[in-house]
Amino acid sequence: MNPRPDSPAATTQAGISRPGLGYAISSYLLWGFLPIYFIALAPTGSLEIVAWRILLSLVFCALLITVTRGWGAFFALLRDRRVLFTMAAAGALIFVNWQTYVYAAVSEQVVEASLGYFINPIVTVFLGVLVLRERLNTTQWVAVGISIVAVVVLAVGHGQFPWIALLLAFSFGFYGLIKKRVGPRVDAVSGLTLETLWLAPLAAVQLWWVAATTGLTMGTEGTWHTVLLLGAGAVTAVPLLLFAAASRRLPLIYMGFIQYFAPFIQFLVGVVLLGEPMPPERWVGFALVWAALAVLTVDLIRGARRASKRVVAEPV
C-alpha cells in the first residue's frame, strides 16, 4: 500500500516531504531545459511564441479550472478589484519576463538569461530594501555588493551591458513581490489565468502584427512544429503548478537551494549545447555572482538555524 503524499511514510529521515522534493526538482528541471524547447520552435520568432504562450496558457488554465470545478472561486476573485488590478500588474511584469527570456533563447543568448536567474535571489533581497524598507544584515550587504561588482565586470570586460540578465532578474523580482501581496488568496492556476486574461488582447495584437509582417508559422512548418507550438500553454503552466505544490510542502530554505537548478542547467545548455562564447572576463563575472550566492546561502542557513533554535526554546 502506497503512503499518502503528506503522511509520515512519505517524508525523508530529515522530515522533508519526498513528494515536495520531487515536485520542486521537476519544476526547476523543466524551467532549466525550457530554452531548448523555444529553440526547437524555429523559425517562429519571439513575438509569435510569447503570444501563443499567453493564449494557450489561458486555455490550459481554463480547462484545469473546469476539471477541478474551481469557477466559483475564480469568479469570486474577479469581484475583488484589488486582486484584479494587482494581477494585472503581475501580468505586465511576467509579459516583460517572458518576452525577454524567449528572445534570449531564440537569439542564442541563453548564458546571459541564466545569469539573470542567478542574480534574481540577490535582486529580491535588494528589492526588499528599496520597496519593503527591510533592513539587511552585513552578510546580505556583502552579497549585494559582490553582485554589483559582477555586473560592472560583465559590462566592462565583456563589452556590453547585461540588459537581458538584469531585465529578467528585476522583472521576476518585482513579479515575486506582487505575488507575495496577494498571498494565499490566489492559487497558482487562478493567478496564471488572471494574468493571461489581462494579456490576451496584447497577445492578439502581437499575432496580428506578425501575420501582417512576416506571417504566422502556426500550421505552416509541419505537424511536429505545430504540436510543439500548441504545447506552449502546458509547458508554461505545468512547472508553475509543480512549483506551487512544492512550496506548500517544503521549507523555504530547501526551495532556496533547489532554485539554482534552473539557471545552472540553462548555463550548461548555453555553453555546452549552443557553444556560446565564455571569454575570461565573463567567467570572472559569473564567478563573482556565484560567490555572492554562496554568501547569501550561508546567511540563509544561519537564519534557519537561529529560527529553529528559537522554536525549540519556546515553551509549549
**pLDDT digit string (tens) for 207-231?**
999 999 989 999 888 999 999 999 9
Residue 8, pLDDT > 50, answer: no
Q: Using one digit for the tens of pLDDT, what is the confidence trace for 77-111?
A: 899 888 899 999 999 999 999 999 999 999 989 99
pLDDT band at 1 (very low <50, low <70, confident <90, very high): very low
Lowest mean per-residue pLDDT among 2-6, 130-134, 182-186, 192-196: 2-6
pTM recorded for the entire structure: 0.83
**Total domains, the chain:** 1
Euclidean distance between CA atoms 93 and 78, whole angstroms: 20
Q: What is the mean pLDDT of the chain?
A: 84
Percentage of the chain modeled with pLDDT above 70: 87
Looking at residue 139, its pLDDT comes to: 81
Report the alpha-carbon angle 291-292-294, nearest 5. 65
Contacts of 168 (CB under 8 A, 6+ apart): 97, 100, 101, 104, 113, 116, 117, 120
Residue 119 lies in a domain: no
Looking at residue 97, its pLDDT comes to: 93
Q: Provide the 10 A C-beta neighbour count for residue 109.
A: 20
Report the alpha-carbon angle 57-62-66, nearest 5. 150
Percentage of the chain modeled with pLDDT above 90: 36
**Which of 288, 297, 292 lies closest to 150 in space, CA to CA?**
288
Euclidean distance between CA atoms 268 and 316, whole angstroms: 49
Residue 88 lies in a domain: yes
Looking at residue 213, its pLDDT comes to: 93
Residue 45 lies in a domain: yes
Answer for the pair 249, 6: CB distance below 8 angstroms, yes or no: yes
Euclidean distance between CA atoms 271 and 257, whole angstroms: 22
Residue 14, pLDDT > 50, answer: no
Euclidean distance between CA atoms 88 and 199, whole angstroms: 8
Q: Using one digit for the tens of pLDDT, what is the confidence trace for 270-313?
A: 999 889 888 888 888 889 888 888 887 787 777 666 666 655 45
Looking at residue 212, its pLDDT comes to: 94
Residue 278 lies in a domain: yes
The more confident residue out of 16 and 261 is 261
pLDDT band at 16 (very low <50, low <70, confident <90, very high): low
Residue 13, pLDDT > 50, answer: no
Residue 247 lies in a domain: yes
Residue 173 lies in a domain: yes
Residue 113 lies in a domain: no
Distance (Å) of CA 133 to CA 17, 120, 126, 127, 128: 34, 18, 10, 9, 6
Residue 115 lies in a domain: no
Distance (Å) of CA 251 to CA 152, 247, 254, 257, 304: 34, 7, 6, 11, 10
Euclidean distance between CA atoms 104 and 39, whole angstroms: 10
Residue 10, pLDDT > 80, answer: no
Burial class (CB in 10 A: 0-12, 13-18, 19+), 70: middle
Q: Residue 88: give the domain boundaries.
A: 28-108+124-305
Residue 52, pLDDT > 90, answer: yes
Looking at residue 9, its pLDDT comes to: 43
